Structure formats: structure tokens, C-alpha cells
Amino acid sequence: MFRGELFPQKPACRGKAVVLALLFLISALLAPAQSQQPQSSSSKPQQQQPQSTPAQGPPAEAGGPQGEVGPIAVPKKKEEPPPEPARPKKNPEGMPEYSVRVDVPLVTLDVLVTTKDGHFIPGLKKDNFQVFEDGQPQRVSNFSQSEAPITAVLLIEFAATNYYFIRDALNASYTFADGLKPNDWVAVIDYDMKPHLTVDFTQDKKAIYGALNTLRIPGFSETNLFDALYDTLDRLDRIEGRKYIILISSGRDTFSRLTFDKILKKVQSTPNVTIFSISTGEALREWIDARYGARSDVREAMMDFQVADNEMNTFAKMTGGRWYHPRFTGEFADIFRDVSSSIRNQYILAYHPTNTKLDGTYRKLKVEVVASNGGPLKVVNEKGKPVKYQVIAREGYTAKHTVE
């Protein structure tokens, strides 16, 4: 019986020890959280909460997940505020705030190098070209040889002046339209007293032929070339890229509102436009001069046409184009073949001018062709004989003008 009384007591003592150890462990774990809670002012011991009530979790300052969690809370890393952006440095006191921006423009030149007969000279390299702006050498940054589609305006004098002038103008216009390619953009403008947009830019050759077919009965006898050319340049100034004007006219101007000086300034200030001018009525003029040249009124009329030729030549030369004065209709095919070769086969040079001022001044340009060693370039034909050549480029450009 003594032995039997001892066995029941061992489990009870062991169970009591285990319970005491668990209580001690729990109290030790809950001590930090309880120490942070404000003690009650009452001296009475707090009553034990029933076990059905969930235990109070760690405070939010401890970090970690919130809500119903275990007794252990791991403090989470405090989120540091993002660094303040660097403040711009201010100028010293008394000095106003300002910023400096340098805008260096890019000048693009279309250069044609041909023989005296008008044949294009291929195979030239970047080192073969020297560009001078107001006498100062420039460094060519971009160079290419292109055979690309064209963007051109066919500007035609169509006035009630003389049948031979109208015939030459229409024959030249049809010949130009025959040589167009599918990717070319062309507009047709005719003028007498004022310009008329016959057809806007199109790649449809039939539309161009249709526009030329409407030019059958002229209206006024006035030929206001300067006004028509100014209006055409104003339209082209809003189009990006290289543009061309095929001017087919007698060159005479009756009473435009603009003077010759003003139209020259407009030509100079319009960038990326090349004019090819074809004079009409040359055969009739020579016949009249040979037969009635002794008359004073005929001499005065011939002087007017000579002035007109000089003006047509000036428009072409200033923009890097060429002037033609055919006497026979059969010359038109060769003329426009030469124009097409000049437009589609050319060298394109680009440079950043050393004069970076945006003052709206006119800058004179000069393009020379040299050998790779800096000496004069020698061109020979198939037989090894030297060939004379010419460099055709625009004479200058007007710099942009920035108003401060």
C-alpha cells in the first residue's frame, strides 16, 4: 500500500512544476510589453482577464504585422524620407538670375559640279569640297550624294501677250511634266496679273497634265512676275526640305506691287529653294530685232527683254540654279534633262557656321573643289584630256534672327 500511495503523487508534482515553468516563461515574454503600458493609479491588483478574451498585441510603434499576432513583435525598419532634390545654385546677391543657351544652326548646301557642257561629275568625296562663309573656312560635318525625288513648283507665265510666248511656255511645261517620276511632288501655278494655284502638290502626273490642259485662253495681259514669285516663295517657306521652282516666263514685270530689290530680299531669306529659270520668246525676239531693230520703239522693247533676262539669271544664280534661254522648241528636252540631272544628282554639304550669331544678317558663301592633297582638282575625260568644270551653289543665306 505504501508503494501504491507514492505513484499517484509523482504525476501531480511533475505537472505542477511544468505549469509553473510555463507561467514563468509567459510572464518573462510579456514583461516588455506590460512595462510599456501605463500603470493604473489604483493600488488594487488587476484581475486576470478571462482566457476567451484575445491577448493584447504589441503597440504599433514596435512595427511588424498588426492585428491578431503572437506575443513576439519584431521592430520593422523605419522608412527614411526621400532625399531633398538639389537646389539650384543662386547667383550672388545683386546679380540677376539668368541662363545661357547656345543654339548653333546647321547650314545645308546643294552643290552641283558639272562640266562646261552641263554633265554631272560624280565620285567626289567630302575632302574635295571647301566651304567659305564671309571668307572664313568652314568645317563640313555632313556629306552625301543624292538621287532623290523632288519637290517642285512649276511657275508659268500665262498672259495675253503673244502667241509665241504662250506656245513656248506650254511646250516647256509639258516637257517638264514628261520627265517626272512617280515619287516626285509637283504643284502648278500660273500667273498674269496675279498668281493662280492650278493644282496643289501631287504625285499624280495625270493631274499635272490636266492642270496644263486648262491653260488655253489667257486673261489679262499684265505679267506681274515679282508678286507671283513672292507668293510662291511664301508657300514653299512652310514646306520642309529642299524645294525647287521651275520658272517659265518672259521675265518681264509690268506693275507688280513689289520692287526688284524686295523680291531679291525674299529670295535671299527663303532657305532651301533653288530656282531654274527658262526664258520664253527668244526666237521671236531675235527675229524682231533683226528686222525692226533700227526703230527706237523696238530697241526700247529689246532693252526691256534684256533687263528681264538679267533678272531671270539673277534669280537662278543666287539660289544655285541655272538660267536657260532656248531659241527652238527642240531644245526643251535637253534643257529639262539637264535640270533633272542637276536636281537628282547633286552633292549635299552641311556645316555648323563658326559665326553663331542669330542676327538675321546675310552671309555670303563660296564653294571650291580641290584635290585630296589640297591642290587644284583636275578632271579628265575618257581620252585623258583635261575638262573644265564649274561649281554651282547658292551665293549665300540669311541667318535666323532671334529677338531677345
DSSP labels, 321-366: --EE--SSTTHHHHHHHHHHHHHHSEEEEEE--S----B--EEEEE
Half-sphere exposure of 369 (CA within 13 A, CB side): 20
> What domains, with CATH codes, occur in the chain?
104-147+355-404 (no CATH), 148-344 (3.40.50.410)
> Which residues, 6+ apart, have CB-to-CB distance to 323 below 8 Å?
276, 277, 278, 279, 309, 312, 313, 315, 316, 317
Q: What pTM was estimated for this model as a whole?
A: 0.63
As a whole number of angstroms, the longest Cα–Cα distance in the chain is 170
41-53 average pLDDT score: 48
User: Which has the higher per-residue pLDDT, 69 or 294?
Assistant: 294
Report the C-alpha dihedral over residues 205, 206, 208, 212, rounded to 10 degrees. 140
Mean pLDDT of 290-306: 83
pLDDT at 119: 74
Cα–Cα distance for residue pair 185/88, rounded to 1 Å: 51
pLDDT in tens, 55-87: 555 555 555 555 445 555 545 555 666 777 666
- When pLDDT is cut at 50, 70 and 90, the band that residue 300 belongs to is confident
Of 46-55, 251-260, 290-299, 353-362, minimum mean pLDDT range: 46-55
Q: What is the pLDDT of residues 313-367, one digit of tens each?
A: 999 999 888 999 998 888 999 999 888 887 888 889 999 999 988 888 999 999 9
Quick check: helix, strand or coil at residue 130?
strand
Query: 21-25, 142-146, 282-286, 329-333: which range is least confident on average?
Result: 21-25
Among the ranges given (34-48, 139-153, 268-282, 371-385), the one the predictor scored with the smallest mean pLDDT: 34-48
Q: How confident is the model at residue 123 (pLDDT cuts 50, 70, 90)?
A: confident
d(CA 58, CA 71): 7
Over residues 365-376, mean pLDDT: 88
